[in-house]
Amino acid sequence: MVLPHLRTAARTPESPGRDGRRDTVWVWETSSFSGRALLFLALLAVLLQSGCAKPPVAKIMETTAYCGCSSCCSWERGSWAMLKLDFWNRYVSAGPNAGRPYSGLTASGTVPYEPEEGLLSVDSIYRPWMIPVRLILFPWYLLPHDGTIAADTKYYPFGTRMYVPGYGQGVVEDRGGAIKGPNRIDLYFDSHSDALAWGRKKVRVTIEYPR
């Protein structure tokens, strides 16, 4: 029997139970053959799982930053077909899709994010003023969230996770016209001034390929 089951056992003489009562304890009985076999299979499964995970790779990469604004993401308000009167519509302004409606989503169809460390993180110690911001103003900042990274998906398929020092944990969800080759990535920021402040940096990126 492999499942733990209730059994009454006497306390040892060194620590007798109160009033010498016998205490009920949970015992994990693995004396039988099926119990040991199941334990062995469970250990094997854990070993195989850890063996299948690809180890993270570190690489020096040239990083730039972008946001969702019209100049970073090449879009414009209104189309010339509508004499630019439909300023509430956004259209792609450059590249092969110029003139098509602009969705604001990443190339993989997700909403872009800046990395968020969440309430229960070291960030709350370094930036304690973020605690009330997370609790009251922006409750969606309570949970940690990966940032959006644009990369050449020939080398880094969608879902590749990257840790970028100074930026945080991100995941490849987007592509960019100028983001070609294995050494270039573009980091998404919520504000254009933050993206400008990042500029262009060569940093040691830790890459974790999807399974």
In this chain, which stretch among 11-19, 64-72, 101-109, 135-143 interacts with Zn ion, using CB under 5 A? 64-72
Q: What Cα–Cα distance (Å) separates residue 55 from each residue in 85, 141, 150, 204, 211?
A: 53, 29, 22, 16, 10
What is the C-alpha to C-alpha distance for residues 142 and 34, in angstroms, rounded to an integer?
A: 45
Query: What are the phi and psi torsion angles at 182 (to 5°)?
Result: -80, -5
C-beta closer to Zn ion: residue 61 or 67:
67
Q: Is 67 in the site for Zn ion (CB under 5 A)?
A: yes
Nearer to Zn ion, 17 or 177 (CB): 177
Q: Give the end-to-end CA distance of the chain in Å, rounded to a whole number.
A: 35
CB of 87 to Zn ion, least distance (A): 19
CB of 77 to Zn ion, least distance (A): 15
Where does this chain touch Zn ion (CB under 5 A) — which range of 10-18, 72-80, 122-130, 198-206? 72-80
Site for Zn ion in 21-50 (CB under 5 A): none
Please report, as a single letter, which amino acid is at residue 181.
Answer: G
Stretch that binds Zn ion, among 48-56, 67-75, 141-149, 156-164 (CB under 5 A): 67-75
Amino acid at 110: T
**Site map (CB under 5 A) of Zn ion, residues 167-206, x = contact:** -------------------------x--------------
State in angstroms the smallest separation of the CB of 42 from Zn ion: 50
Q: How far apart are CA 119 and CA 128, in angstroms?
A: 10
Alpha-carbon gap, residue 123 to 98, rounded angstroms: 40
CB 115 within 8 A of CB 168: yes
Among 69, 107, 120, 135, binds Zn ion (CB under 5 A): 69
Which residues contact Zn ion (rule: CB under 5 A)?
67, 69, 72, 192
